[in-house]
A and B are shown apart, each in its own frame.
Chain A
Amino acid sequence: MKVNIVSLTCCAGCVSSFLNAGDALLEILSQDFDIVYSPTFVDLKEVPQVDLAIVEGGVRTEADEKLIREVRAKSRILVALGICATHGGITSLGNIISVKKLLEKEYFVLETSKLPELEDLMYPICNFVDVDYYIPGCPPMPFLIVHSLKSIVSGKTPTRHQSVVCTECNRKIIAAKLDRLYGIYDKEADPNLCLVSQGFVCLGSLTREGCGAPCPRAGFTCFGCRGPTDSLLYRSRDLYSFLVKVISKRTSIPEEEVKKELYRNPFIFHTFIFSKFERFKARERII
């Protein structure tokens, strides 16, 4: 199978993660998996017609948009790898200000420049093209990437992850009696109890499983890099009220007070998904 690896606006962490797959990577490379185009690794200059395109990064510039359309037209299957590609990712935080402001504050007025024009916002790729599989994560873990790719290569649909990170985190959830919430560094975490039951704002209960919960296992709150689960994406979309309820239940702090505390922290929920979704068909295709 001929494979393209394409990088749009992003941090290149997703392809790094793929390269971290160790022996599993060697195994997939020795199978029917021929990377013919990848500006990071291969010298081929033109986007070829392929069976599978793996795309990291989102659409921030017109050059990105042009490239993703070309890649789509030339690929049988297209995989959006990482939350930049699936949901806009961290760069979509830039959507809080206008492009004009962004350039003025940080750079210059573009008129005199030969650089590619920016889009008005940072977009996930599904706003422009059909995506066959979405693998969110910042980055998705190597085993998740390799496992999904192996299924795709053999013509199967990869295992979908529809539950939440809490199911992969072996911390015990209890209804504790607390009187306040804590910042990540305010106290050391008990190694066995759910972080929320200890007053930390962990997003595990909102976030799609599939990463193996490395962060909460290590005593660090999940910050939602796999994006919201199906039920939150399609049913309520109200991450905020949902989390307020979870925290209140696991700490016995009244909802009103939890709300006040969370308001102070505007970056908590949307760190990776602050973008505008159009044509988002992740429900059947998100891994």
Chain B
Amino acid sequence: MTSQREITISPTTRIEGHGKVTIILDEAGNVSDAYFYATEIRGFDYFLRGMEADRLPFIISRICGVCSTAHVLASVKAIENIYGTEITETAKKLRELLLMGQIISNHSLVFFFLILPDFWFSKEEDPSKRNAFQIMRENPEIGRKAIALRSFATKILDTIGKREVHIVSAIPGGLISPLKEKEREELLKAAKEACAITQEAVSLGKELFEKNWEEFRKAGDYKTHYMALTDDDAIEFYEGKIRILNPEGDVFSEFAAQDYMKHVEEKRYEWTYAKFACLKALGCQKGIVQVGPTARVNVNKKTKTEFANRELEEFKRKFGSPTHATLLFDYARLIDLLYACERTRELLEDESITRTDTRVKVKPKGGVGTSVVEAPRGTLAHEYALTRNGRLKSMKLIIPTQVNSAAINLNVKDAATEFIRKGEIKPGLLNRIEMVVRAYDPCIKCATRNATDSLKVEIRNHEGRLLKILS
């Protein structure tokens, strides 16, 4: 194995944040274990203690610049739960619109910039060309679409959130200011264009994924539980009940979002800066659960909008329900994207969204409150304990990537087992691992708000000696 001892270190790519994979081989040189882990720590949960609840929502969004809006919304909702504040319908609609902006912004980024190069180029393509900028050079039309969708999301976030990254408009009690009629009309016009582009993106995605279906099937098919928000069997992002399915597809449990922490627990391993999360009732061995696009489709029977619903039905027809194939995350993400565009249009067609009653007065008090939203990567929960004076005593956040970590690990192990036999590494291992990890769109920034390095693959022998680092 001396030939494999050579070490090269550099980042694995097209993933948000810094993570790492270690594969451990047994004496015969076969895979005995594999870990995907985070190597970054920041300490949010600790250093925000003592902060005034007023400032929490817009400060806490700095956990992640890619899904900052989801964090802001989870944060204001948790504080409102403590205060006992009921916000107005108008504020709810505007917040949902913000969340749709968040989904479009993230999913268009992930589809066009992170995932698409894997399917667009042949496997033999020069890696230095396998990226979105090259696609844009070869096909400026695709570049324009990607940027148009991104800009549309930016416009929503800027108009209603008042900044496109780290919005400031959502405050405990509602929204700081109403949407003006003129703004509504402009956004609605843009929404119609965005919906048309999204449909084209969905067709492009489906075409490319279908060509690679064999690959899809091979790459990870791990049966786990699934969790997502649901509103009467329909996909929902802003509020609703939480439903968990067992691996066979039956409802395992259903509960109010405020009870989230009673059902999900965190576990800490010494080899990663991120904490795992799993189902409390089953423990971390059996209680592996996945969240995110596939989970949303598995857990729900429909979407409230027409075209997304058609896509969802087709998806279920083709792949069954629940489906477990990991790479289908990429496909299901397009259903989210379509839904978000259609829902945005719907919300904007409703003229009552410009009503001026966006804000109610809050009565600050101490206590504990939990809230959940569907972030782009899945169910996101914030729980705060506030002191009587409205300062943060402690907080607990459970982030989608933490929940998915266990499943990502299993998938990485599967891929490793397939590609490593008797110490021989078949070509293509790294690519496969990257693709399954990428499917989860893991946000290591989020998972490691507390706790940097890039995704690397380390292969160690059973004594822990480093044999090889792939990157």
User: Which residue from A10, A41, A214 sits with its C-beta under 8 Å from B113?
Assistant: A41
Which residue of chain B has the shortest Cβ distance to A220 in the bound complex?
B168
Which residue of chain B has the shortest Cβ distance to A101 in the bound complex?
B46
User: Which residue from A16, A89, A106, A115 sits with its C-beta under 8 Å from B165?
Assistant: A16
Pairwise interchain contact B62-A11, C-beta atoms closer than 8 A: yes
Nearest-Cβ distance from residue A36 to partner chain B, whole angstroms: 7
Pairwise interchain contact B133-A41, C-beta atoms closer than 8 A: yes
**Contact A106:B65 (CB < 8 A) given known A16-B165, A22-B154, A214-B163:** no
Could you say which of A91-99, A156-164, A231-239, A245-253 contacts chain B?
A: A91-99
Question: Across the A-B interface, how many residue pairs have beta carbons closer than 8 Å?
Answer: 217
Q: Does A265 contact B (CB under 8 A)?
A: yes
Pairwise interchain contact B65-A116, C-beta atoms closer than 8 A: no
Residues from chain A with a CB closer than 8 A to the CB of B113 are 19, 40-41
User: Which residue from B48, B114, B130, B164 sits with its C-beta under 8 Å from A142?
Assistant: B164
Pairwise interchain contact B173-A43, C-beta atoms closer than 8 A: no
**Contact A139:B65 (CB < 8 A) given known A60-B40, A107-B273, A116-B39:** yes
**Contact A218:B168 (CB < 8 A) given known A45-B10, A113-B271:** yes
Q: Measured between alpha carbons, how far is A219 from B162 in the docked complex, in Å? A: 10
Q: B42, B173, B268, B270 — which one has the most chain A CB atoms within 10 A of its CB?
A: B42
Pairwise interchain contact A138-B62, C-beta atoms closer than 8 A: yes
Q: Measured between alpha carbons, how far is A13 from B177 in the docked complex, in Å? A: 24
Q: Does A23 contact B (CB under 8 A)?
A: yes
**Contact A8:B452 (CB < 8 A) given known A16-B165, A40-B14:** yes
Which residue of chain A has the shortest Cβ distance to B45 in the bound complex?
A106
Residues from chain B with a CB closer than 8 A to the CB of A8 are 452
Pairwise interchain contact A105-B46, C-beta atoms closer than 8 A: yes
Which residue of chain B has the shortest Cβ distance to A122 in the bound complex?
B42
Pairwise interchain contact B177-A218, C-beta atoms closer than 8 A: yes
Pairwise interchain contact B43-A94, C-beta atoms closer than 8 A: yes
Residues from chain B with a CB closer than 8 A to the CB of A57 are 452
Nearest-Cβ distance from residue B13 to partner chain A, whole angstroms: 5
Residues from chain B with a CB closer than 8 A to the CB of A94 are 42-43, 46-47
Pairwise interchain contact A93-B47, C-beta atoms closer than 8 A: yes
Could you say which of B144-152, B228-236, B367-375, B404-412 contacts chain A?
A: B144-152
Q: Which of B42-80 contact A (CB under 8 A)?
A: 42-43, 45-48, 50-52, 54-55, 58-59, 62-66, 68
Chain A interface (Cβ within 8 Å of chain B)? 7-17, 19-20, 22-23, 25-26, 29, 34-36, 39-47, 57, 60-61, 63-64, 89-91, 93-94, 96-97, 102-103, 105-108, 112-116, 118, 122, 138-139, 142, 183-185, 188, 214-215, 217-220, 223, 225, 265-267, 271
> With A11-B64, A61-B453, A108-B270 given, can you name 11 additional A-B contacts, CB distance below 8 Å?
A19-B109, A19-B150, A39-B11, A40-B14, A40-B114, A42-B133, A64-B452, A115-B453, A122-B42, A183-B52, A218-B168
